[in-house]
């Protein structure tokens, strides 16, 4: 069990200082479960070229071997994001968080606690639940079977990989669902502008995730954009430019 086709230099923490009028606007981009910063790197580089300061962290338990996720507690993921936020706040006056899949769920968790510090959140095929599976059932399943096959490269474009694991820790899924149970119950506390991208042909997460988030988040400004030519990892798929450009417009409009 290992990382699938990880591009050299793309699975570690990455950051870049911005330039010009956008230099003090920071954007934090969070990858998904079993994935890596590789899934967010092109998006981050695009925003950095537009002058924004960006950070793309490697979440704990990722980037080495799937067994590492058996040793992770869910609190370590938001703690990593909080530390990255603190780094951005050293030099930035406005902060946006972009989260993909489980990274979207982590972004929502952070927003339930730190809406006052954020200027907006952007989600791509975010995760808030697994239908009919709660933490207790996930825990029982993790005691029976430690790993299952990963669907990490659900990408329509041929020959593209996000550099994630080829198997999935079921104990890690239990940890995710604990975090998401709290997050879902507190979605109403999120009041920052939100932009959400949803792939019509997502083979990993059902549309109920998007529907729950759109209905539950307390923000007055909530925008949903449908992606018609991408699977789950839309940040690396045919609709990537749709995400990049619309997110730039969103950040620009909420940075004034």
Q: Which one is catalytic: 153, 202, 237, 239?
A: 202
Q: Is 9 left (phi over 0), alpha (psi -120 to 50) or beta?
A: left
Known catalytic residue: 101?
yes
Q: Quick check: is 202 catalytic?
A: yes
Spell out where 23-166 has E strands.
Answer: 25-30, 53-56, 94-100, 120-124, 147-149
Out of 31, 36, 38, 101, the active site residue is 101
State how far the alpha carbon of 213 is from the alpha carbons of 91, 197, 198, 222, 241, in Å: 31, 12, 11, 10, 23
Q: Is 31 a catalytic residue?
A: no
Q: Which two tokens stand for residue 96?
A: 């946006």
**CA 1 to CA 148: how far, in whole Å?**
11
Q: Could you say which of 219, 232, 239, 247 is catalytic?
A: 232
Q: Which residues pair with 53 in a beta bridge?
A: 26
Q: Are 195 and 217 in contact (CB under 8 A)?
A: no
Residues with catalytic roles: 101, 202, 232
């Amino acid at each position: 069990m290992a990382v699938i086709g990880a591009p050299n230099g793309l699975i570690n923490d990455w950051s870049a200082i911005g330039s010009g009028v956008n230099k003090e606007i920071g954007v934090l981009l969070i990858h998904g479960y079993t994935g890596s910063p590789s899934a967010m790197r092109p998006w981050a580089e695009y925003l950095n070229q537009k002058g924004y300061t960006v950070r793309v962290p490697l979440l704990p338990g990722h980037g080495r071997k799937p067994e590492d996720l058996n040793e992770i507690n869910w609190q370590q993921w938001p703690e990593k994001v909080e530390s990255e936020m603190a780094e951005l706040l050293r030099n930035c006056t406005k902060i946006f968080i972009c989260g993909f899949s489980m990274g979207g769920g982590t972004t929502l968790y952070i927003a339930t606690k730190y809406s006052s510090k954020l200027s907006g959140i952007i989600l791509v095929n975010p995760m808030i639940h697994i239908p009919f599976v709660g933490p207790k059932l996930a825990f029982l399943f993790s005691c029976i079977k430690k790993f299952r096959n990963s669907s990490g490269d659900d990408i329509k474009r041929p020959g593209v990989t996000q550099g994630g694991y080829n198997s999935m820790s079921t104990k890690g899924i239990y940890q995710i669902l604990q975090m998401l149970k709290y997050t879902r119950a507190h979605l109403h506390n999120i009041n920052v502008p939100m932009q959400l991208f949803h792939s019509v042909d997502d083979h990993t997460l059902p549309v109920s995730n998007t529907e729950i988030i759109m209905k539950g988040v307390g923000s007055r400004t909530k925008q949903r954009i449908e992606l018609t030519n991408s699977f789950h990892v839309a940040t690396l798929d045919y609709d990537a430019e749709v995400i990049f450009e619309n997110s730039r417009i969103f950040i620009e409009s909420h940075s004034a």
